[in-house]
Each structure stands twice: as C-alpha cells, then as structure tokens.
Homo-oligomer: A and B are copies of this chain.
Amino acid sequence: MTSRAPVDFCRRCGTKVEHRLPDDGDTKIRAICPACHTVHYENPLNVVGTVPYMGDKVLLCLRNIEPRKGYWTLPAGFMELDETTGQGAERETDEEAGADITMGPLFSLVNVPHVGQVHLFYLAQLQSTEFKPGWETIEARLFSEADIPWDQIAFRTVKVTLQRYFEDRKRGAFGIHVIDLETPTGPLFPPKPAETSSSTAS
C-alpha cells in the first residue's frame, strides 16, 4: 500500500514527458510523451482481501512490513492483473495468513480517494484453525469482537469493515457495504479513534 512514483519519463520510449491537457477533449492534466505521444493515465488501484471468520471470531494478521508494521489487519493486498477481485482476495488470504477458507460474497467496498484506492473485502469461512502465514505476517490469530485490538488496527478500511461485520453479525444478516472514507483532517497514521466514514449504501 505504497504510493507510486510520479511519471517523469515515457514508459514506452524513455523520453521526458510533458504535463499538459491532451488534444482529445480530455479535461485533466496528463503526463504526455512529446516523442511517441503516449498519454500516461494514472488511475486508482484496488486492494482486495477477506474477513475470514469461524464461529464468533475473525482472523487478523500482525503486519511484518511497512506501512504499519506491528499493527493488525485483515489479509489484503493489491489486486493483480489476470485475476478477479474474489481471486485476488483469496490469494492474499493464502499469502498473508496461510488460511484454509471457503470464499463467500462481497462484503465491503471502501473508497479511499485521498490515496487513490478502492478496498474490497469478501466474507470467507475458515475451514481450519491452522494458519501458515507468509513473510509479510508476524502472526495470524483469531479474535472475538471483545478482543479486537481496535486501537492497533493498521488501516481505516479494515476498521470500518470489521465494525460492519460485527454489526451485521448481531442483526443476523450480512449485506454489502459501500463506504466512502473522507480525507482525514489529521495525520493518516495513526488512525483517528473516531471514524469519519459514512455508509452510502448498505
């Protein structure tokens, strides 16, 4: 979940780019190659993950990498080419938790416009309590709602997803939650104790 390098040179021919409006009616400043005329668009990225659950507990991973090393997260990472959102979520759960899961439906879609990301979490039923986390994870552990380390959650998207999960669990019905995270007014890290998210649909 790192930011990308700025586009200073053309990926196609290596020429230094210009930053200007394209000639095709586009209204946004783009990085454009003056030699081969390639327009270098920059678009949001998807982060895909799961809410792995068993009984009244969910699986969290203690991060072994920056950002937010030493904080807890749901297994998630950048969606890759050649996979669906669900396949990416399943892959990340395997990589970060080594968990045996059965994939369930989409649970949350969280827009994070200030970092150019969309986070998507799927429900996933754990088939075993044996976990084999990869190198990105210090420890994978099951937590009941009362035990969740709310002030040590790595990302706000994970926090709001967990909150919605336990709310839905209490009412006995799981929806799909579309949530917009507003730009934080303070520093993004550490996350603020009070959520500033608003659910636009549920």
Residues 49-74 of A, flagged 1 when their CB comes within 8 A of B and 0 if not, give: 00000000000000000000000000
A147 within 8 Å of B (CB atoms): no
On chain B, the residues within 8 Å of A135 by CB distance are 25
Q: How far is the CB of A165 from chain B (nearest CB, A)?
A: 16
Q: Which one of B7, B12, B180 lies within 8 Å of A84 (CB-CB)?
A: B180
On chain B, the residues within 8 Å of A180 by CB distance are 84, 86
**With A44-B81, A78-B41, A79-B43: A86-B8 Cβ-Cβ less than 8 Å:** no
| Complex contact A111–B82 (CB within 8 A) | no
Copies of this chain in the oligomer? 2
| Complex contact B11–A5 (CB within 8 A) | yes
On chain B, the residues within 8 Å of A80 by CB distance are 28, 43-44
The number of chain A residues with a CB under 8 A from chain B is 49
On chain B, the residues within 8 Å of A176 by CB distance are 106, 176, 201
Kindly list 10 other residue pairs between chains A and B, CB separation below 8 angstroms, not including A84-B113, A85-B111, A87-B113. Answer: A4-B41, A5-B38, A8-B11, A9-B9, A9-B12, A43-B80, A44-B46, A44-B80, A44-B81, A84-B111
